[in-house]
A and B are shown apart, each in its own frame.
Chain A
Amino acid sequence: SQQGEEDPQALSIQEGENATMNCSYKTSINNLQWYRQNSGRGLVHLILIRSNEREKHSGRLRVTLDTSKKSSSLLITASRAADTASYFCATAFNNAGNMLTFGGGTRLMVKP
Chain B
Amino acid sequence: EAGVAQSPRYKIIEKRQSVAFWCNPISGHATLYWYQQILGQGPKLLIQFQNNGVVDDSQLPKDRFSAERLKGVDSTLKIQPAKLEDSAVYLCASSRGRQPYYEQYFGPGTRLTVT
Contacts and interface: CB of A to CB of B under 8 A. Distances in A.
Interface in B38-56: 40-45, 48, 50, 55-56
Interface in A13-51: 30-31, 42-45, 48, 50
Interface in B87-108: 91, 93, 95, 97-108
Given A100-B45, A104-B42, A45 B104 contact: yes
Given A42-B108, A42-B109, A43-B91, A98 B102 contact: yes
B31 interface: yes
Interface residues of B, number: 28
Contacts of A4: 42
Given A43-B91, A104-B41, A98 B100 contact: yes
Interface string A30-74: 110000000000111100101000000000000000000000000
Please classify how large the interface on chain A is, using the bins under 10, 10 to 19, 20 to 34, 35 or more. Answer: 20 to 34
B70 to A, nearest CB: 21
B45 A43 contact: no
A50 B101 contact: yes
Most buried by A among B42, B44, B55, B93: B42
Contacts of A104: 40-42
A102 B46 CA distance: 12
Contacts of A99: 33, 45, 48, 55-56
A93 B45 CA distance: 14
Interface of B: 31, 33, 40-45, 48, 50, 55-56, 91, 93, 95, 97-109
8 closest A-B pairs by beta carbon, nearest first, are: A102-B42, A92-B100, A43-B106, A97-B98, A30-B100, A42-B108, A102-B43, A98-B98
Given A45-B104, A97-B48, 19 more contacts: A30-B101, A42-B106, A42-B108, A43-B91, A43-B93, A43-B106, A43-B109, A44-B106, A45-B105, A48-B103, A93-B100, A94-B100, A97-B31, A97-B50, A98-B31, A98-B48, A98-B104, A99-B45, A104-B40
